[in-house]
Amino acid sequence: MRRDTMGVILTSEDRIPPITDIRANAALPIAGRYRIIDFALSNMANAGLTNVGIVTESNYSSLMDHVKSGKPWDLDRKNGGLSVLPPSLEQTKLGTIKGDIDMLAGIRDYLMRSPQTYVILSLGNFIYNIDFAEVVQSHIDNQSDVTIVYKDVKGMPDEELSRFTLLDFDGDGKVTDIEVQPYYPKTTNASMELYVMDKALLESIIDECSARGDRDFVKDALVKKMLGIRIFGYKYEGYMDKIDSMKSYYRNNMAFLNGDVRKELFNPANPVYTKTKDQSPTKYGDEAVIEHSFVSDGCTIEGTVINCVLSRGVIIKKGAVVKNSIIMQDSVICEDVDLDHVVFDKEVYITKGRKLIGQESYPLAIAKGSKI
């Protein structure tokens, strides 16, 4: 990777109550021991980026605790490295953050001090595994002003397509139309909200939009400038999705139970790193039954677990049956409990004999620290 490229990750404004009541979307646990931001951050680290900024909006303490100095991603450096960039006091005092342009304006000095020529700008609520070196090289080869990474999601239902920004192209791969979450989609080219551009152009966009009171990077910058700048697409072929609702959060956790998805997203050639914890292996009781599940370290399982994703330290006692569920760290499921299609935040305690049932299209979510 060229050393003249830096990374900026924007934490998403999408809220998924109750599990984002205390944390940013990018800090949500996924696949047991990972966080959503691990995918974008690891891809940048694998590409050799040595200067990465994470721009936060609110509820960022969990995110800061997770990434800390950036050591798991080899970003704990004296020069550059990982920077967590909370909103300035001026921004938070009057609650003036109303879009990603405001978030970027808050790090204008950070961008100006960074010596790199190019910037990879990413929204932190997507999961994917991509070679950023190829994306940057494509950007340079096309002599593009902005390169947008996208995937053709042919076959996706219209209601799901409408969650994305959709792109249309001419025969040379140049973007000719951008629609932001259209009600009636005209194309299946879904933007992954990953952009490569000159850092100087990004600074110019921030200054111009801020001066005009514009707030949205896509609507107010890219769409309005489309005729004046060269915007090209880079087609991504692998697994990707946007986590912006409880339904998509549940679906993507369950996707990790598919061996092909795991093999693709956890590609040894482009590994995903995360904060490590020294915990003992999971203990299984004599009567424990485990089927088709993703189980992290430090759990104690004496009951039945089928088609589930368990984070570290989960306790499932004798007689409990847990199916099709996501259970986060240090939750306790007592004897004879029956759970199906639930999402538990951390430290949830379910007392003996309780029964909680959700649906695949509407999983039952329980807030952190709840006792039922």
Tell me: do 44 and 167 sit in the same domain: yes
Residue 71, token pair as written in the block: 């050591």
Tell me: do 253 and 292 sit in the same domain: no
* Residue numbers of the domain that contains 357: 283-366
Q: Higher pLDDT residue, 226 or 269?
A: 269
Q: Is 278 inside any structural domain?
A: no
Confidence of residue 1 (pLDDT cuts 50, 70, 90): low
Average pLDDT of every residue of the chain = 92
The DSSP string of 4-18 is: TEEEEEEPP----TT
Kind plus residue range of the DSSP H or E element containing 310: strand 309-310
Tokens 């009567």, located at residue? 287
pLDDT of residue 279: 84
- Asked if 307 contacts 290 with a C-beta cutoff of 8 angstroms, the reply is no
Tell me: do 251 and 322 sit in the same domain: no
Tell me: do 215 and 350 sit in the same domain: no
Confidence of residue 225 (pLDDT cuts 50, 70, 90): confident
Q: Nearest to residue 143, comparing CAs of 115, 172, 171, 110?
A: 172
Range with lowest mean pLDDT among 66-80, 88-102, 358-372: 88-102
Confidence of residue 372 (pLDDT cuts 50, 70, 90): very high
Query: What total of structural domains would you count in the chain?
Result: 2
Tell me: do 197 and 55 sit in the same domain: yes
pLDDT tens profile 16-70: 999 999 898 999 999 999 999 999 999 999 999 999 999 988 788 899 999 998 9
Reply yes or no on whether the pLDDT at 92 is more than 80: no
Tell me: do 13 and 76 sit in the same domain: yes
Q: Is 356 inside any structural domain?
A: yes
Q: What is the pTM of this model?
A: 0.93
Query: What's the CA dihedral at 208, 213, 219, 225 to 10 degrees?
Result: -30
276 DSSP assignment: -
Tell me: do 30 and 97 sit in the same domain: yes
- CATH number for the domain that contains residue 305: 2.160.10.10
- Asked if 272 contacts 46 with a C-beta cutoff of 8 angstroms, the reply is no
Reply yes or no on whether the pLDDT at 89 is more than 60: no
Range with lowest mean pLDDT among 51-55, 57-61, 137-141, 247-251: 57-61
Give rounded-to-5 percent helix, strand, coil for the chain. 25, 30, 45
Tell me: do 48 and 170 sit in the same domain: yes
Beta bridge partners of 349: 332, 371
Last-in-domain residue among 265, 296, 331 = 265
Confidence of residue 93 (pLDDT cuts 50, 70, 90): very low
Q: Is 276 inside any structural domain?
A: no
Q: Is 372 inside any structural domain?
A: no
Section 274-282 average pLDDT: 89
pLDDT of residue 88: 63
Tell me: do 178 and 322 sit in the same domain: no
Q: Is 146 inside any structural domain?
A: yes
Reply yes or no on whether the pLDDT at 314 is more than 80: yes
Q: Is 251 inside any structural domain?
A: yes
Q: Is 358 inside any structural domain?
A: yes
